[in-house]
Amino acid sequence: MKSYKELPDDAGSNIIGQVTAQANRLSERLASVKYTVAIMSGKGGVGKSAITANIATALTLAGSAVGIVDADINGPTIAKMMGVRNATLEYAPTGVKPAITPLGTKIISMDLLLSEDDAPVLWNAHTQKDAFTWRSTMEVGALREFIGDTEWGELDYLLLDLPPGSDRLPNVVELIPNLGGVVVVTIPSEVSHLIVKKSITMARDVLKVPIIGIVENMSFYVCKHCGEHEPLFSAADTPDNTFQLTTLGKIPFDPKLSHCSDSGTSYLNEHPDTPASKAIIELAQKIQNFFNT
């Protein structure tokens, strides 16, 4: 009786061929992207999406062609922050045309596909029972299509806004083996540091992905009356010492940044002279330097 290896194929389904074709679509699309950068933390609520949106805007204002993949399939916020939530996507046989901000940043997000504000991502299935067995696969498939089936055109930077969890970056690296680098976002709290350390270990030691550096968001609050820096959190140590990584920036808390995120307007355009805007622009320059030197 013939063995498994002696049988010529899988009876005609060519599953390996189908998977290879998916991977080829992805790599062909990414051929026109110079640098892919994942913005991650591991910890939720540290401002990854706001940082991603503002890095994208800073890079766009500096003359780069930039796209964002909202990789937070179940909690997408990038479309709102970038003011394109009402965009209607167009598709052609060659790919889906992304939403484009007035400044020219290209966006793809699950939020652009959902029916209502309160609609969760719900996948078609005979039953939702035991959905844990396949939901993650569906989400990775969605991410693969977002990256590979969007008509990005020529991009200098494709930013991926990752959801919380140290398990998310491995999925991205599976899809983009030559990921250009990772920007890690934290806040100055011991709780955040505890989780972010796990993500850094995953990126640096397990996946061997280049870490561009760390951003400390909501580092301090600038008193609007006296200009003094007041701490918001209570981490005992600096991110430089805690993580042994290049600190790309310390972004002060600014309610105006939150307001711009809510209204989908550009904080850097509307408030270019604030300490937070200056820190974000410097952060974007350091990312450019990472790739250009």
Partner 1 sequence: MKFLCIDCDTAMKFKDVTRPEQGSVTAVFECPDCFTEIAMYLNPSETQMLKSMDLKLGGNSEAAQPMQMVRSQLETAKQDSMSNTISETGSEETVEGGKCPFTGVISDAFEEKSEPEPDSLTWTPEALERLERIPSFVRPMAKMGIESFAKENGHTEITGEIMDAARGNFPAQF
If the CB atoms of residues 134 and 237 are measured against partner 1, the closer one turns out to be 134
Stretch that binds partner 1, among 92-100, 217-225, 231-239, 253-261 (CB under 8 A): 92-100
Among 31, 63, 115, 255, binds partner 1 (CB under 8 A): 115
Residue whose token pair is 């355009």:
269
Q: Closest CB to partner 1 among 141 and 165?
A: 141
Q: Which helix (H) or strand (E) holds 261?
A: helix 255-263
Q: Which of 50, 69, 146, 175 binds partner 1 (CB under 8 A)?
A: 146
Helices 48-61 and 255-263 pack at an angle, to 10 degrees, of 80
Token pair for 164: 């919380």
- Residues 9-28, interacting with partner 1 (CB under 8 A): 9-15, 17-19, 21-22, 25
**CB-CB contact of 201 with 40 (8 Å):** no
**Residue 4 engages partner 1 in binding (rule: CB under 8 A):** yes
Among 28, 102, 119, 269, binds partner 1 (CB under 8 A): 119
Q: Round to the nearest angstrom and report the end-to-end CA distance of the chain.
A: 60
| Region of 134-142, 167-175, 237-245, 257-265 interacting with partner 1 (CB under 8 A) | 134-142
Q: Closer CB to partner 1, residue 95 or residue 264?
A: 95
DSSP 135-195: HHHHHHHHHHHHHHSB---SEEEEEEEPPSSTTHHHHHHHH-TT--EEEEEE-SSHHHHHH
Number of residues that bind partner 1 (CB under 8 A): 53
Q: Which helix (H) or strand (E) holds 260?
A: helix 255-263
Q: Please give the residue ranges that form the binding site for partner 1 (CB under 8 A).
A: 1-2, 4, 7-15, 17-19, 21-22, 25, 88-96, 112-116, 119-127, 130, 133-135, 137-138, 141-142, 145-146, 149-150
